[in-house]
Structure 1
Amino acid sequence: MEKVGAVMVVGAGIGGSQTSLDLADSGYKVYLIESSTSIGGVMAQLDKTFPTNDCAMCIVSPKLVETGRHQNIDLSINCVIEDVSGEAGNFIVKVRKKSLFINPDKCTGCGVCGRECPIEAIDIFNEKLAKYGATSVKYPQAVPLLYAINREVCIGCGICYGVCKAKAVEYDREDEVVDINVGAVVLSPGFDEFIPEEANLYGYGKYKNVVTSIEFERILSASGPYSGRVLRPSDGDIPEKVAFLQCIGSRDYSGVGKPYCSSVCCMYTAKEAVIAHEHMHQIKPTIFSMDVRAYGKDFDKYIIRAQKQYGVQYIRSRVSSIKEVPETKDLRLKYETQDGKIIEEDFHMVVLAVGLNPPDDAKYLAEKFGVELNQYDFAKTDLLNPVQTTKPGIFACGAFSSPKDIPDTVTQASAAAGCVNQLLYEKKGTLITEKSLPPEIFVRGQPPRIGVFICHCGINIGGFLDVPEVTRYAKTLPNVVMSDRNLYTCSADTQTIIKEKVQEYNLNRVIVASCTPRTHEPLFQETIREAGLNRYLFQMANIRDQCSWVHMNDWEAATNKAKDLVRMAVNKARQIEPIERIKLSVTPKALVVGGGISGMVAALNFASQEYETYLVEKEKELGGFAKHIYHTLEGADIQVYVKELIDKIKANKNIHVFTEAQMENIDGYIGNFKSSVIHGEKKERTEFSHGVVVVATGAKEYQPKEFLFGQNENVILQSEFERLLNETDQIKNKKSIVMIQCVGSRNDEHPYCSKMCCAEAIKNALLAKELNPDLEVTILFRDIRTYGFKEQYYRKAREAGVIFIQYDENNPPKINSDLKVEVLTPRNDKIYISTDWLVLSAGIYSDREENEELAKMLKIPLNDDSFFLEAHVKLRPVDFATEGVFIAGIAHCPKTIEDSISQANAAVSRACTILSKDEIEAEGKTARIDITRCIGCGMCIENCAYNAIELVDDRRFGTVASINQVLCKGCGACSGNCRCSAIDILGFTGEQIFEMITGRI
């Protein structure tokens, strides 16, 4: 069957939206199918995200709007999959589009029908903590903004029909059934939360002040039932003592919950505790946990910050019971401390950190699409291709394959798109529609007509300053012809409003006073461009980060400062002019730096799409750190896998491999890089051009200075222990082995978790017990972090007789020369263990010097631990701020092999959004030389980090500086250091900055 250049994505949460955008931007027609009445999934319900504490809706809304208005994404809501036929490359999917009883082509989202509806229904989005009309929209910023009638509660009174001016209400509107022809399918239906009421746990459903974590998210949210104020459901009082209980419905072998770890609960609980205290300073959070599984990038730092900065208290205990105090509705918790004491303590409110279950329709979807589920009813995927289901052409991403957080979901979403690219690359561009934009309105020489849009952002801004007053003030400023305020300016309906206002008032400048331009400026620029304005006739005033958040305790000062920021933006807006973007051709080739698993997977993905690829490895052989790993905890044979990858690379004509290689130089910009590499025994030099770069340089294993390592031959690392287990029979002669966890991790020097150490220790412990059943294996740990489905192996280790003893970070184990180990337990008991081998679980650390050198070449940042720093921790986890450069593997942060594989495919997917195009547009805000002032001193050349400036001879003015607009990033270093004021940055000229300063004075 002939392949089809279209893809269906089932589920439109953050994962499905990311997959859809990657595929649509890579040249495919995308059919995005959502079962509810709007997209966004669970992320749209969250209040904040960690570790930045950004407003969740603020950062996800631009992506949802982009998804909703993309010309090559066909979005269908309220849908059910009815039938699937065909094979990889050519499927026919029958979809039932259930009626909204409102015509989506006529509905304007005005909301009159919802406001006039006399019937109240339970608000599912607000987790049943509020009510809304039988005619409603899912949430205020919903994409698409379409109202729907809930016929289960509608009484048919006809009021909505009567008040709808668009005549969109159609009570007899029927379902529509369509057949959709696609080449591949990505399943991303998300997850469902564990419901403690069904298990009668901790009084949930009986005691009003016992709520679940997702309910607490809605309580915290500005758009939630209490407008962001933390109140008790029973009486509306502020709860001063709030208890958070971990592992509700997870790590549970009783049959009530699930036996696996839900991976995300430890961190979202820490975040909720922090944000609760931030919202109401009198709140004192206490978290009851077993292990604190803060295994992600900078997660441990967030836990420490929660404890030290916000006073969050951690108690390592599982609460045995909760009883309500009838008179006060307080909750009495009974628990045992680590030193054996039984405590009863009253709290004003309890939050249950519920786990992640597979979606309710998992079995239905699996049956329809012919894919298998695992023992927990999540999608069964290949460990070494984590997005591939058991059926070719059907892929899975996000929490449908296992519980995971937002960055891992977004990474897997891009990885799924990357694998679809491999399957359908020949059909790219065959079914897409080019975006049509209106011609730009000519504004040069015309007096400024400025429109100002002030955002409430729920209570993120509106709760800390007087937005109506700021809106009124903006109307009084010169050249401002209209000023308006919106609950959420980044929502889809407000984008429509902005375009309408541009036409209505003949605006030629637009200002949005809301949050940060880092995440939102592209959204608003695209909106005004769709309205006919040049995208650079736009200005933002950041009255959230720079005002409401830093002056949250001073209403008057925050309001006055917001006025100042708006006035400054207006002053600048009067001076801004249209800027033209430069179109660049794209070199359809890729450079991959690093030949470990991540680099090899990325190179093979590029090459399978016929992109010529240069793979650079510093060692003599490919394979990286994986050469020292024999099997994963789950049993995958890594030695065989690595050999297969190397053989495929050697046989692929599209891959040029350089070993014993060092990058000499990388110059250029997105779509057009030029690099040189020194390689081989003879140190040959090779130059080549390419359009994108994937950084997959890996990391190192920590070489301990502690625990007699290097002094006693029987003190070894886990990697050496694994080799001995797999290549020798020495283990059969041993009687006792002790392992020490967190060696070189979670300390002052390396304040992060190395993520893989717990799994490696348990893997090797299980194999050691299998080879020598009489062997005594003891693991000394701080927290056991076997997240997700790895939890089952932790249990297997305990069942096999592996002994786990916790130690405190302030009292690490002591070792004498005879390998006698002394460990102090949490109950202050001293335990002495004699061991034949002391095995250290050494952490992962970055190659600081190598990373710094590569970072300078590519102009990409490192974090405090010298791992590469992504563009956005949640929504751009494989991108760099430098366009055209992407990250994969443990050069980003410690991670497992399966995560590295996902990130490699994700990096390729993101890169293909560039390589699939013949040309791209470069940023317009670049430097400009006034050669009448330039004296040719060359100071600007010294200050330019991008090699964008050179000295040239001008026949009129002699030697002057010349700027390559393509190389220039508009950083302003040249302008700031020019003694003659000969350099301006378009969009930030000296005159514009002066006007802003004048506006502040």
Structure 2
Amino acid sequence: FVCHCGINIGGVVDVPAVREYARSLPFVEYVADNLYTCSQDTQETLKRLIREQGLNRILVAACTPRTHEPLFQETMEEVGLNRYLFEMANIRNMVSWVHSSDPRGATEKAKDLVRMGVYKAALLEPLQEPELQVTQKALVVGGGVAGMVAAKTLANQGYPVCLVESSDRLGGQALALHQTWRGEDIAGFVRELSETLFRHPLVEVHLASQVSLVEGFVGNFKTNIQSGGTSRVFEHGVAVIATGGSEWQPNEYCFGDDSRILTHQGLDQRFLMADPTLKEVRTAVFIQCVGSREPARPYCSRVCCTHTLHSALHLKKINPEGDVFVLYRDLRSYGERESLYLEARRQGVLFIRYDLEDKPQVRIRDGKLRVTVADPILQRHLVIDADLLVLATAIVPNQDEALAQFFKIPVNEDGFYLEAHVKLRPVEFATDGVFLCGIAHYPKPIDESIAQAQAAASRAATILARKTIHFSGMVAATQQMLCSGCGTCVELCPYSAPRFNDRGKAEINPALCKGCGLCAASCRSGAIRLQGFDDAQIFAMIEAV
């Protein structure tokens, strides 16, 4: 079945020519082209043709299997065929999108991919999906706002939750914050949320605790929780990682040398205490991107600009006659937060841009706090005698290498946890049954952390809602007679799927295997076979080119 995909494929590739070419290939019993093969009408037609023509293997030449392969596999199951007797040729991403300026060449390449797919499809074998019981409980690591929201969301759906927090109280970084950018009370929200969790009959809270060991796989995890010198094992089906982040402590701008130099959290603490000395601040200076968007931390921490605008307006509210300067590289008050910037301009907050190569200078002399900055508009240096200097510092992750190793979760170059796919699986890890949310993933404001926590809990609930779970049939398997017990596969597998059995031979745990093929490619004895990508199938595709 060759898809036009509207003009995505048909606008470049000569689909009728590919269809007629496929008709000439061996093993092919029926060929058709469709405007949209993934549409519901075409799926019904596909089922009818499978029954009428007696087809036992299907090849669809269309878009990426990453998004649409499950749809076609479900269609095959509905007519009684094994879902793994299906092959897909990606003639959109690999052909029409990358060869749009060469329709003739694109059409020939599409024919090549179809031919390769046909030769592989002829050798496809039905595969079985192992089934395991699901422990309908959840573990949440991290008791900040994201972790608490995830725990509450899961518990409210009827699933027992164990919440593990490394500090002696819940709340995380939100405990040090004053208000959201909309002026909402954060402390009250955190207090109410934590009290709800302590009272919830399905939530078990462990403070000053650590995860010391994790065993198992999706649906059947066993986690050791260390608390106060004691250890207990918690069995659960899913885990939500919400270990959060923290405010970077700067080593520049004389931070730590004078009590008038604060970070955002330091200023928020004074706001929370209603510090009367803030009324005496005649000149306040904010410096943006302290530790962010620099070689050591090239990422933007996202919340700093909005935080500065809100704090500047609050200072103006406390002392309308005071002067507030914001020294920035680029101001990013995205979305509706732009209203804060407009209001700050109306209130008289002054904005001065600076370059990374010519950062502001801070000096303390004779009790005076002096900030010098080059104004690009006036083409001269400005000297500001400040009563208060606030540094908008970077947000850094709470790195826990042991936890990352326990759950086999990847970390990006900045130390934040990396999701499985930014669009298709934004709150999941590559390790099945493990989800992420909050600042552990990337710097974000509280409202976005809450939304992501609810999303992670919702995805986790799709597993907990089932009593049993099926695993992919496209996993590696060992032939015990050929295995030499060298241990190469055990050392190389990033998911810890191969293990030695009591005979010293490698065995693959199908619940942990992701079908990456690393073990099969590295096995010197040829004892490991990746089901669905057998050597005979791969060589058939190569020989068909």
Partner of 2:120: 572
Q: Deviations over 1:584-616 (max 9, x none)?
A: 211010000111011111112222333221111
- Superposition pairs for residues 239-318 of structure 1, below 5 Å? none
What is the CA distance between 1:830 and its match in structure 2? 4.2
**Residue 486 (str. 1) matches residue 34 (str. 2):** yes
Deviations 1:532-590 (A, max 9, x none): 21111111122233333333333343333222222111111111111111222110100
2:525 aligns to what?
Answer: 980
Which digits, 9 at most, give the CA deviation of each residue in 1:788-847, with x for residues without a partner? Answer: 333333333233322223334554433344422213235645433221222111122223
Find the residue that maps to 1:673 and give its secondary structure: strand
| Conservation of the 8 A alpha-carbon contact between 1:929 and 1:984 | yes
Once the two structures are overlaid, the 10-residue window that deviates more, 485-494 or 634-643, is 485-494
Structure 1 CA distance, aligned partners of 2:49 and 2:294? Answer: 55
Distance in 1 separating the partners of 2:525 and 2:424? 41
Q: Is the 8 A contact 2:4 2:35 kept in 1?
A: yes
The answer to whether the 8 A contact 1:588-1:611 is kept is yes
Q: 1:559 to 1:675 in 2, by over 3 A?
A: same
Matches within 5 A, 1:836-855: 836-847=387-398, 849-850=399-400, 852-855=401-404
How far 1:481 moved relative to its partner? 1.3
CA distance in 2, matches of 1:551, 1:929: 40
- Alignment equivalent of 2:94, drawn from 538, 543, 546: 546
Which amino acid in structure 1 is aligned with residue 351 of structure 2?
F
Matching residue of 1:879: 428
Whether the aligned pair in 1 keeps the contact of 2:164 and 2:207 (CA below 8 Å) is yes
Deviations 1:30-70 (A, max 9, x none): xxxxxxxxxxxxxxxxxxxxxxxxxxxxxxxxxxxxxxxxx
Runs (5+) with no aligned partner, structure 2: none
Measured in 1, the distance between the counterparts of 2:410 and 2:335 equals 31
Cα separation, 2, equivalents of 1:469 and 1:703 = 64
2:277 equivalent in structure 1: 730
SS at match of 2:26: coil
Partner of 1:778: 325
Equivalent-residue separation in structure 2 for 1:636 and 1:543 (angstroms)? 51
CA distance in 2, matches of 1:475, 1:864: 49
Alignment of 1:215-234 (within 5 A): none
Change beyond 3 A, Cα 1:992–1:889? same
Q: Which residue type is aligned with residue 385 of structure 2?
A: S
In the alignment, does 2:294 pair up with 1:743?
Answer: no
Compared CA separation, residues 809 and 460, structure 1 to 2 (3 A): farther
TM-score by length of 1: 0.52
CA contact (8 A) 1:631 1:638 kept: yes
Match of 2:410 in 1: 861
Alpha carbons 2:370, 2:383 under 8 Å: kept = no
Shift of 1:918: 1.4
Q: What pairs with 1:185-196 in structure 2 (closer than 5 Å)?
A: none
Q: Which residue identity does 1:823 align to in structure 2?
A: A
C-alpha separation in 2, matches of 1:751 and 1:771: 35
> 1:951–1:793: structure 2 CA closer, same or farther, 3 Å change rule?
closer
Taking structure 1 as reference, are residues 828 and 508 closer, same or farther at Cα in structure 2, changes over 3 Å only? farther
Match of 1:606 among 143, 154, 164: 154
Deviation at 1:490, TM superposition (A): 2.4
Q: Does residue 1:935 correspond to 2:484, yes or no?
A: yes
Q: How does 1:331-410 map to 2 (within 5 A)?
A: none
1:705 corresponds to which letter in structure 2? Answer: N
Indicate the SS of the match to 2:428.
coil
Superimposed CA distance per residue, residues 884-938 of structure 1 (whole angstroms, 9 cap, x where no aligned partner): 2211111121111111112212211111111112112111112222223223333
The one of 638, 652, 656 equivalent to 2:186 is 638
Is 1:811–1:824's contact at 8 Å kept on the other side of the alignment?
A: no
1:592 aligns with 2:159: no
Pick one of 940, 959, 969 that aligns with 2:514.
Answer: 969
Cα distance change of structure 1 residues 862 and 546 upon mapping to structure 2, 3 Å threshold = farther
1:822 aligns to 2:373 (yes or no): yes
Q: Distance in 1 between matches of 2:500 and 2:424?
A: 40
The answer (yes or no) to whether the contact 2:354–2:373 under 8 Å persists in 1 is no
Query: For 2:372 and 2:75, how far apart are their aligned partners in 1?
Result: 65
Do the aligned partners of residues 880 and 490 (structure 1) sit closer, same or farther apart at CA in structure 2, a change above 3 Å counting?
A: farther
* Residues 1:628 and 1:576: Cα distance change in structure 2 (over 3 Å): same
Instruction: Supply the distance in 2 between the matched residues of 1:652 and 1:888 (Cα, whole angstroms).
Output: 21
Superimposed CA distance per residue, residues 384-424 of structure 1 (whole angstroms, 9 cap, x where no aligned partner): xxxxxxxxxxxxxxxxxxxxxxxxxxxxxxxxxxxxxxxxx
Q: Structure 1 residue aligned with 2:244, among 689, 695, 698? A: 698
Partners of 1:811 and 1:489 lie apart in 2 by 57
CA–CA distance in 2 between the matches of 1:964 and 1:822? Answer: 61
Q: 5+ unaligned residues in a row in structure 1: which ranges?
A: 1-452
Q: 1:823 to 1:961 in 2, by over 3 A?
A: same
Q: After superposition, where does 1:609-628 map in structure 2 within 5 Å?
A: 609-628=157-176
- Which residue is 1:918 aligned to? 467
Q: Is residue 995 from structure 1 mapped to residue 540 from structure 2 by the alignment?
A: yes
Quickly say closer, same or farther: Cα 1:945–1:733, change in 2 above 3 A. Answer: same
Distance in 1 separating the partners of 2:49 and 2:358: 65
Matches within 5 A, 1:488-507: 488-507=36-55
Q: Deviations over 1:658-706 (max 9, x none)?
A: 23322222222221111112233x2x22211101111111112122333
* Secondary structure, aligned partner of 2:29: strand
Distance in 2 of aligned mates of 1:986 and 1:567: 21
**How far 1:457 sits from its partner (Å)?**
2.8
Q: Is the 8 A contact 2:163 2:204 kept in 1?
A: yes
Kindly tell me: are residues 475 and 809 of structure 1, through their superposed partners in 2, closer, same or farther at Cα, counting changes over 3 Å? farther
Name the structure 2 match of 1:799. Answer: 346
Q: Displacement of 1:624 after TM fit?
A: 0.7
**Residue 966 of structure 1: CA displacement?**
2.7
Contact kept in structure 2, 1:455 and 1:461, CA below 8 Å: yes
Equivalent pair of 1:814/1:823 in contact (CA under 8 Å) = no
Report if aligned partners of 1:821, 1:835 keep a CA contact under 8 Å in 2: no
Shift of 1:720: 0.7
Q: Give the aligned partner of residue 336 of structure 2.
A: 789
The match for 2:262 among 709, 716, 722 is: 716
- The one-letter code sitting in structure 1 at the alignment partner of 2:542 is I
Calculate percent identity across the aligned residue pairs.
Answer: 48
Contact 1:808 1:824 in 2 (8 A): no
| Paired residue type of 2:414 | D
CA contact (8 A) 1:819 1:836 kept: no
> Cα 1:559–1:829, aligned 2, differ >3 Å: closer, same or farther?
farther
* 2:3 equivalent to 1:458: no
Which of 103, 113, 130 is equivalent to 1:582? 130
Tell me the residue number matched to 2:440: 891
Q: Is the 2:328–2:354 Cα contact (8 Å) retained in structure 1?
A: yes
Confirm or deny that 1:532 pairs with 2:93: no
CA separation of 1:879 and 1:959: change in aligned 2, threshold 3 A:
closer
The CA distance in 1 between the partners of 2:534 and 2:409, in whole Å, is 26
Higher RCO by CA contacts (8 Å cutoff, separation 6 or greater): 2
One-letter amino acid of the structure 1 residue matched with residue 162 of structure 2: Y
> In structure 2, what residue type is equivalent to 1:618?
S
Indicate the residue corresponding to 1:306 in structure 2: none
Whether the aligned pair in 1 keeps the contact of 2:178 and 2:271 (CA below 8 Å) is no
**Residue 689 of structure 1 pairs with residue 250 of structure 2:** no
Secondary structure of 1:460's aligned partner: coil
Q: 2:59, 2:88 within 8 Å by CA — same for their partners in 1?
A: yes
* CA distance, structure 1, for counterparts of residue 379 and residue 60 of structure 2: 59
Aligned to 2:385: 834
CA contact (8 A) 1:592 1:599 kept: yes
In 2, are the aligned partners of 1:813 and 1:824 still within 8 Å (CA)? no
